[in-house]
Chain A
């Protein structure tokens, strides 16, 4: 589904610009009202991120508010409650930052953040994002196709999969709990090379806030959200299917592929529908989260009930 983004649609049409640019003051003003829930105030300032183009891969669906996307996060390094990362990640140091790209490649390299960001022009892509917990959001991400980075390091013929690893620093993440750390994820090489797979540095015209995976994360819009690993420090090209954190936790619940699929339920709940944040009633979940045209061919002949 290639829908051209209407050129005249701005964020101010969906989230009042004054509200999200002044959100710290706005949040601070709520400080008393939300005492005991959240203590906002000293969040890291997002830096303006210039975007070369708006991607034709963008959806025209209504974008969720910056507030929702930054205060409802699954990021267990910063607490298991979805309201916690906004509080516990706010002082996370994302500079200096290096990403090591290694393994079965001809040109392994350690990139500092500015270098990895400069590999390809940054685009804005408005994607649907569907959590395995059956809620969803629409987010204007900023980044470039991961394929550009992989091409730069030149995978060799043996490389079949890509393994990813998140940062883990117990000193900065005292609230990490519930799963094994560091968080690891993986993709098949063709999935990683797919143009929709985004290496993401920002959202809402700014650098990523720490609770959303700063300074660099993946966004794979046709897979459940936990595949879109946050705060990446290592990318390794490998021959065999790499381990993935949730899959190791409960392989019957979280498969390696974890493609969004309304016909394959999670063992404990249905995946047929979802709640879009901001909506009262549930809506139907789309095959591959609505990216079927783009990605279904990668899975032809595969039993998606077995390879969930």
Chain B
């Protein structure tokens, strides 16, 4: 029997494995670089949304066990974000840092995408138990709220990229709004519960 964590591992790894498989079988289409860029970008955003769904779902189903998958999924989101960034930096910008910065500063959709990616770096670094201890639970939690910014940046990045068909970025935006909205509702509730207790 596979453990639940192993299953999550394999599911998260599947898109990357699928890309490699397609690559070896000529299945990446007419523009493989674009295909890889889009696929890794899609999975970054999807996994960020999954990590953001864990807390509301845990509350909804009263299943605290969900939390133990969050770090793994978050790190996979970062992994796809790295692949996404590297595909762009290596194959579009040919490792040219000057060209990269020009794009980051000049093109709003790249600015927000880059911001979303960079903000994931401290979260990935501090994802270990040791860092939680060092920062203290409260501070750690505050820091990791940066993922909200990454989620918003990811959706905006996608929305600004498409030419006219915004259905997919809007769908991700709605999901994100629901997930962030759930937190707002929750914090209002606990605030009023705290007042009532006084």
Q: Do A and B bind each other?
A: yes
A125 to B163, CA, bound (A): 30
Distance between A97 CB and nearest chain B CB, rounded to angstroms? 27
Distance between B140 CB and nearest chain A CB, rounded to angstroms? 37
A-B contact count (CB 8 A): 51
- Contact A269 B107, beta carbon cutoff 8 Å: yes
With a CB–CB cut-off of 8 A, which chain A residues contact B20?
none
- Contact B25 A268, beta carbon cutoff 8 Å: no
Instruction: Kindly state whether residue A68 has any CB partner on chain B within 8 Å.
Output: yes
Instruction: Kindly state whether residue B29 has any CB partner on chain A within 8 Å.
Output: yes
Query: Which B residues lie at the A interface, using CB under 8 A?
Result: 25, 27, 29-31, 33-34, 91-92, 94, 103, 107-109, 160-161, 163-165, 167
> Can you list 18 A-B contacts (CB < 8 A)?
A33-B27, A37-B27, A67-B30, A69-B30, A72-B29, A177-B165, A179-B164, A268-B108, A268-B109, A268-B161, A269-B107, A270-B107, A275-B34, A277-B30, A280-B33, A280-B91, A281-B94, A282-B92
Across the two chains, which residue of chain A brings its CB closest to B94?
A281
- Contact B31 A275, beta carbon cutoff 8 Å: yes
Instruction: Kindly state whether residue A168 has any CB partner on chain B within 8 Å.
Output: no
With a CB–CB cut-off of 8 A, which chain B residues contact A33?
25, 27
A117 to B158, CA, bound (A): 43
**Number of chain A interface residues as a range:** 20 to 34
A133 to B163, CA, bound (A): 9
With a CB–CB cut-off of 8 A, which chain B residues contact A83?
29
B30's partner among A71, A76, A280 (CB-CB below 8 A) is A71
Instruction: Kindly state whether residue A15 has any CB partner on chain B within 8 Å.
Output: no
With a CB–CB cut-off of 8 A, which chain B residues contact A64?
30
Instruction: Kindly state whether residue A249 has any CB partner on chain B within 8 Å.
Output: yes
Instruction: Kindly state whether residue A135 has any CB partner on chain B within 8 Å.
Output: yes
